[in-house]
A and B are shown apart, each in its own frame.
Chain A
Amino acid sequence: MPGKMKRNYGICFAAVILGFLLLCLLFDTSLLGKKAVYFNGLIVIGMFYTIIVCSLNLLTGYMGEFSLGHAGFMSIGAYLSAIVTTLIKDNMELPSLVLFLIAILVGGIAAGIVGILVGIPALRLSGDYLCIVTVAVAEIVRVVLSNFGIPAITGSATFGKSFAGIAKVSDFHYVYFTMVICIFIMYCYIRSGYGRALISIREDRIAAAASGINVTKTKVLTFTISAFFAGVAGAIYAHYITTLVPTYFNFSKSAEFLAIVILGGSGSMMGSIVVAPILSALPQLISYVVPAFASYRMLIYAVILVAVMIFKPTGLFGGREFSLPNFLDRMLGKNKKEKG
């Protein structure tokens, strides 16, 4: 690893640990008092939103294709991981961390497999047509879940059209590091030969093929990775909320994820990371801070969306990345120059 990169990774790692300690300070001490549980929930939801929005950004921002079906992949991850952990929970005692790891792996792999199966035929299409296919897939999953329900496999959970009694293992300590690792993997994917190939396809598909890039393979791979992380987010959601209702994963959920990607700036991971937790918590916060506005919260949400699209059509970060090490360099660099 080149020395400069080593230093940059070190700075980012330090920032991650600092963020974790800050969260621990807020929620593991009695600093927030009774409100801690409430804010804890907002933070966990914000973190799984960050994962799924980043995964969608892989498609929208870097591959240049829209998906309006990410709630579908999320629901697959949520339901499958919940079924598996419920089965395990009833038969043996496992520490919550192990159960959590099993949940996110099962959720991710299940959604990833569906991603491959859908991706291979669907990625022959692009643009509007692909978008419609993703909507269709998500709707099929939702309709199947709401009509067939889950067969009663064990005693401890309520089965049927809604699914209750899932183990609550999505502790924010685990979720935080899961989020960091997910983002790191996606970042490394983009900043590698694979990522360059991916972006070249977004820029010009024919020229990418003429430069030796296997366009179909790269697209299916990216679609699968994106679905995998959507599944991970679904698993985190299931094991935090503990009750799954198929209607949660409807079309407007997919649209919400896409809206956050566009707001943060498609093609900017940092945009997604900053905007996803804020927007996921915003409706809750509005009704919490100003209870009188509670019924207008979706309106406020919409106004913000419209305003950003008018004043900054490329999204808040506009396809640029914010680099903490470079930012620090700029702050410190000035001092260095003055000395020299």
Chain B
Amino acid sequence: MAEERVPVLESKSLGIQFGGLKAVNDVNLQVYKGELVGLIGPNGAGKTTIFNLITGIYKPTSGSYFLNGKRMNGLKTHQVVAEGIARTFQNIRLFQKMTVLDNVRVAFHKNMKANLLQSICRTKAFWKEEQETTGKAMELLKLFGLDEFADQYAQNLPYGKQRLLEIARALATDMKLLLLDEPAAGMNPVETAELKESIKMLREKFQIPILLIEHDMSLVMSICERVYVLNFGEVLASGTPEEVASNKEVIEAYLGMEEDDEGGAADA
């Protein structure tokens, strides 16, 4: 990696302490333009905690992080989103009793210009913007093959489609960096393959950098350009998937145990 470029996301000795527990400690991450970076590690290593720190759900107790060189510490979640970081969640968090279309339209709200008075008086500007938003939302849904479900409640979508809808919603926020938290969790092999295609399509079409937490090693190894391995809240190793996979410490901490699971999954 060319070090002189400004990374899209950079964290400098980022950490958070819950009482006496250092859940994340001294983490230095860089994500560059157009990159797909994996974040892996055993359960409880602090991967999701890092996401929660970056998106402002937790406040870091040490260190700081930057988006395109701008310090982001202390911003609230909706401000972080406004700056351009969007995420999905490990356990799907869709708006269950809203339609698929509305799930995506919600994410456009922060950029909508119609004020309260215009919305209530139903002015021309309101209708125009409403139509534009619907159009943009439908385009996004089409990308993920979700347009035919637009009028259904999100809770009625099959599991794999719900994951894709979450990604579509994140994209609607018009972000500069996408954080995906275990998008393949609980997916069957067909759905995982579909997800892989969607992520590839995303990168080609939007050229956005992605930080990906994933337990499915075959997925991580096949699509990530660089990987960070986290253990007990600290970065254990980083590098290309091949480098990491042959790192002794990593194998001891993580991959050695994970290989059995992987074999099992491959058999199934």
Which residues of A pack against B, CB within 8 Å? 1-2, 5, 185, 188-189, 192-194, 196-197, 199-200, 203-204, 206-215, 221, 319
Distance in angstroms between the alpha carbons of A194 and B118 in the assembled complex? 11
Residue contact A197 to B77, C-beta cutoff 8 Å: no
Q: Which residues of B contact A (CB under 8 A)?
A: 55, 57, 76-78, 81-82, 86-87, 89, 93-98, 102-103, 105-110, 112, 114, 116, 119-122, 124, 126-127, 130-131, 133, 169-170, 172-173
A-B contact count (CB 8 A): 103
27 A-B interface contacts by CB (under 8 A)? A1-B124, A5-B127, A185-B120, A189-B119, A193-B114, A193-B130, A194-B109, A196-B109, A197-B109, A199-B95, A203-B94, A203-B98, A206-B57, A206-B77, A206-B93, A207-B94, A208-B95, A210-B81, A210-B93, A211-B81, A211-B106, A211-B107, A211-B109, A211-B173, A212-B107, A215-B78, A319-B97
**What's the dominant secondary structure at chain A's contact region?**
helix
Residue numbers in A under 8 Å from B95 (CB-CB): 199-200, 203-204, 207-208
Residues of B within 8 A of A193 (CB): 105, 108-109, 112, 114, 119, 130, 133
Residue of B89, B110, B120 touching A213 (CB-CB under 8 A): B110
* Complex: A209 Cα to B56 Cα, angstroms: 10
B102: which A residues are within 8 A, CB to CB? 196, 199
Q: What is the distance, in angstroms, from A65's C-beta to the closest C-beta of chain B? A: 16
B169 adjacent to A211 (CB under 8 Å): yes
Q: What's the dominant secondary structure at chain B's contact region?
A: helix
B78 touches A209 (CB 8 A): yes
Docked-complex contact B109 and A213, CB < 8 angstroms: yes
Q: How far, in whole Å, are A1 and B130 apart by their CA atoms in the complex? A: 10
Q: How far is the CA of A206 from the CA of B77 in the complex (A)?
A: 9
- A199 near B122 (CB under 8 angstroms)? no
A317 → chain B, closest Cβ, in Å? 14
Given A211-B169, A213-B78, A203 and B97 touching (CB < 8 A)?
yes
Residue with the greatest number of chain B CB neighbours at <10 A, chosen from A207, A208, A319: A207
B106 close to A197 (CB less than 8 A): yes
Tell me the bound Cα distance from A192 to B82 in angstroms: 20
> What residues on B are CB-neighbors of A189 within 8 Å?
116, 119-120
Determine the chain A residues whose CB is within 8 A of the CB of B82 once the complex forms. Answer: 212
Residues of A within 8 A of B97 (CB): 199, 203, 319
Asked if A194 contacts B106 (CB within 8 A), the reply is no
Please name all residues of chain A whose beta carbon is closer than 8 Å to the beta carbon of B108 when the two chains form the complex: 193
Chain A, residue nearest B129 (CB): A193
Q: Can you add 11 more A-B contacts, CB < 8 Å, to A188-B122, A192-B119, A193-B133?
A: A1-B127, A193-B112, A197-B109, A209-B57, A210-B81, A210-B86, A210-B87, A211-B86, A211-B107, A212-B110, A214-B78
A210 to B178, CA, bound (A): 12
With both chains docked as a complex, state the minimum distance between the C-beta of B163 and any C-beta of chain A, in angstroms.
Answer: 13
7 interchain residue pairs of minimum CB distance: A212-B110, A192-B119, A203-B95, A207-B93, A209-B77, A212-B81, A211-B107
Shortest distance from the beta carbon of B13 to any chain A beta carbon, whole Å: 25
In chain A, what residue has the closest Cβ to B124? A1
- Residues on A with beta carbons closer than 8 Å to the beta carbon of B120: 185, 188-189, 192
Establish whether residues A212 and B173, one from each chain, have CB atoms under 8 Å apart when the complex forms. yes
Nearest CB in chain B to that of A191: its residue: B119
| 8 Å CB contact of B98 from A200, A210, A215 | A200
Residues from chain A with Cβ under 8 Å of B87 in the complex: 210
Residues of B within 8 A of A215 (CB): 78
With A and B bound together, what is the CA distance between A210 and B82 in angstroms? 10
Q: Are A196 and B78 in contact, CB atoms less than 8 angstroms apart?
A: no
Contacts A193-B114, A207-B89, A207-B94 given; does A212 touch B78 at CB 8 Å? yes
Q: Check B106 against A208 for contact (C-beta < 8 Å).
A: yes
A202 vs B78: C-alpha distance in the bound complex, in angstroms? Answer: 16
Instruction: Tell me the complex Cα distance, A220–B13, Å.
Output: 37
Q: Decide: A196 and B98 in contact? CB cutoff 8 A.
A: yes
A210 CA / B102 CA spacing, docked (Å): 15
Closest Cβ of chain A: how far from B170's Cβ, in Å?
8
Shortest distance from the beta carbon of B94 to any chain A beta carbon, whole Å: 7
Please give me the residue from chain B that is nearest to A185 by CB atom. B120
For B93, the closest partner residue in chain A by CB is A207
Determine if B106 and A200 form an interchain contact, defined as CB atoms under 8 angstroms apart.
yes
Q: Within 8 Å CB of A206, what residues of B?
A: 57, 77, 89, 93
Q: Point out the residue from A1, A185, A188, A213 that lies within 8 Å of B106, measured CB to CB.
A: A213
Measured between alpha carbons, how far is A213 from B110 in the docked complex, in Å?
6
- Cβ-closest chain B residue relative to A197: B109
Cα(A221)–Cα(B122), bound, Å: 19
**Smallest distance from the beta carbon of B174 to chain A beta carbons, Å?**
9
Chain A residues near B103 (CB, 8 Å)? 200
A8 CB to closest chain B CB (Å) equals 12
B109 contacts A210, C-beta separation under 8 Å? no
B206 to A: closest C-beta gap in Å: 17
Query: Known: A203-B95, A209-B81. Is A196-B105 also a contact (CB below 8 A)?
Result: yes
Cβ B169 vs Cβ A192 within 8 A: no
Q: Which residue of B lies closest to A209 (CB)?
A: B77
Q: How far is the CB of A339 from chain B (nearest CB, A)?
A: 26
Taking the nearest CB of chain B, how far is it from the CB of A43, in angstroms?
Answer: 26
Asked if residues B127 and A210 are in contact (CB atoms below 8 Å), the reply is: no
A197 to B86 CA separation, bound complex (whole angstroms): 17
A209 to B75, CA, bound (A): 12
Which of A5, A197, A206, A209 counts the most chain B CB atoms within 10 A?
A209
